[in-house]
Amino acid sequence: MSKEKSMEVGMVWSLVDVKLLLTSLLVLCSLATVLQLLPSLSCLSSTTTTTTTSQSQVLNFSTPNPPKETLDLHSGIVKRAFNAVGSAAYLFVQMGAYRGGANTFAIVGLGSKPLHVFSNPTFRCVWIPHSDTNRSIATTGYKILPDWGYGRVYTVVVVNCTFPEDVGVNGSGGQLVVHATTGGGGDKGLDLEESFVAIDEKQGSFNMTELTSAPPKHDILYCGSSLYGNLSPQRVREWMAYHVRLFGPRAHFVFHDAGGVHPEVLDVLRPWMAMGILTLQDIREQERFDGYYHNQFLIVNDCLHRYRHAAKWMFFFDIDEFLYIASKSTLRSLLDSLSGYTQFTIEQMPMSNKLCLSSDAGKTPRMWGFEKLVYRDVKRGVRRDRKYAIQPRNVFATGVHMSQNVAGRTLHKLDGRIKYFHYHGTISDRREPCRQFVNATDLIFENSPYVFDNTLRVLAGSVKRYELKAIGSRLVRTRQ
């Protein structure tokens, strides 16, 4: 009997287990069904929220309603309206502003290109002394557009503010305020005006004697253009060593980093920066404004006015270009002979960036670029870009290949006394440049005639020894 009871109890518990199992499965299936629906519910909730928010935004939106159309019942003409929303470009983007003398200033920046090409924006300059704000003086700003029409959304604008009398020469300080107008451009019904403080000169910060009468701190100042892309540290190293040696101890270099000075390039520049020979400026923010070629014209004009009283001569050329002075003279003697000119331009010697000597095969990874690239393009009838040097105190604005805004004479023919060798594309190529090895004094390559030219090659040993003496061996392991 007891055995039968045990069996009955066991069967009951088994049924209970099955029931629990079935219940558990039902719950799990229900949960799974609900979970599958949750994303949809979530999306629905999100959509509902978004819609509600969107409707709220529309209701609170402050811009005009859609343009209206009005029918003139008498004439039968439909009058259309136009709604203007937003702005296409800034009226003015200032990079720098500098004193040029006792009564003159230069403001360097960018302006809307269509505005300056098709309209007449104006600039009014006001000097407000800190000592007496009621004794302000105003003048009309004279604008220069030095980028030869190459601008894109923005063009370069140099505003010259020359007052009829000296301002701030007593060291009391003051503010240069500029009032810029659209000149009716963009909307002929409006002549909008924006004002900004271009310079805030602190009391005692201006010394007229130091600015204009003292001799320049540097004999030569190099104004570098925008550096961008994946630059070769080794090519930058070679360029610096070569030109520091050429320019001499009273020279200074200014580089502008538009994204090209990555850590390996910075390692190459640091020794020269530590010696006070090189200044590096981070200008990456200019990429916000769509100008020509990383805003090259903007950068060189800022450099001109920032350092115009700091150097007797300024040079403008790129870091894939190497200056060469004929063996019968020195750079100093050349510049002394050209002191009567405000500007001179420099002839280009275009070099192959691929051809190397067969005898150098296997050795080129240890050789410098201008040491192994020894074939010069001699095609005739081709217009070659020139580079240039100026005496900056006589220049009001400048360009990439020369200045058109100078006071004084310009010389273009120097009979080979100075020229520059151009290794196009090598500065942004991290690979070994030698692509083809040849054993000839002249040849045709890629439909262009070339001749062997070892003008810079013979200087390589002297430049390497100079670098070693100047900064030691810290850069000997620099990579391409």
pLDDT in tens, 292-303: 999 999 999 999
The predicted structure's pLDDT at residue 87:
78
pLDDT in tens, 381-427: 999 999 999 999 999 999 999 999 999 999 999 999 999 999 999 99
Asked if pLDDT for residue 38 goes beyond 50, the answer is: no
The predicted structure's pLDDT at residue 103:
96
Average pLDDT, the chain: 88
pLDDT in tens, 87-125: 789 999 999 999 999 999 999 999 999 999 999 999 999
Share above pLDDT 90 across residues of the chain, in percent, rounded to a whole number: 74
Name the pLDDT band for 27 (thresholds 50, 70, 90).
Answer: low
Name the pLDDT band for 32 (thresholds 50, 70, 90).
Answer: low
Instruction: For the chain, give the secondary structure using H, E and C.
Output: CHHHHHHHHHHHHHHHHHHHHHHHHHHHHHHHHHHHHHHHHHHHHHHHHHHHHHHHHHHHCCCCCCCCEEECCCCCCEEECCCCCCCCCCCCEEEEEEECCCCEEEEEEEEEHHHHHHCCCEEEEEEEECCCCCCCEEEECEEECCCCCCCCCEEEEEEEEECCCCCCCCCCCEEEEEEEECCCCCCCCCCCEEEEEEEEECCCCCCHHHHHHCCCCEEEEEEEEEECCCCCHHHHHHHHHHHHHHHCCCEEEEEEECCCCCHHHHHHHHHHHHCCCEEEEECHHHHHCCCCCCCHHHHHHHHHHHHCCCEEEEEECCCCEEEEECCCCCHHHHHHHCCCCCEEEEEEEEECCCEEEHHHCCCHHHCCHHHHCCEEECCCCCCCCCEEEECHHHEEECCCCCCCEECCCEECCCCCCEEEEECCCHHHCCCCCCCEEECCCEEEECCEEEEECCCCHHHHHHHHHHHHHHHCCCCCCCCC
The predicted structure's pLDDT at residue 285:
96
Domains of the chain in start order, with CATH, are 93-206 (2.60.40), 215-471 (3.90.550)
pLDDT in tens, 288-342: 999 999 999 999 999 999 999 999 999 999 999 999 999 888 999 999 999 999 9
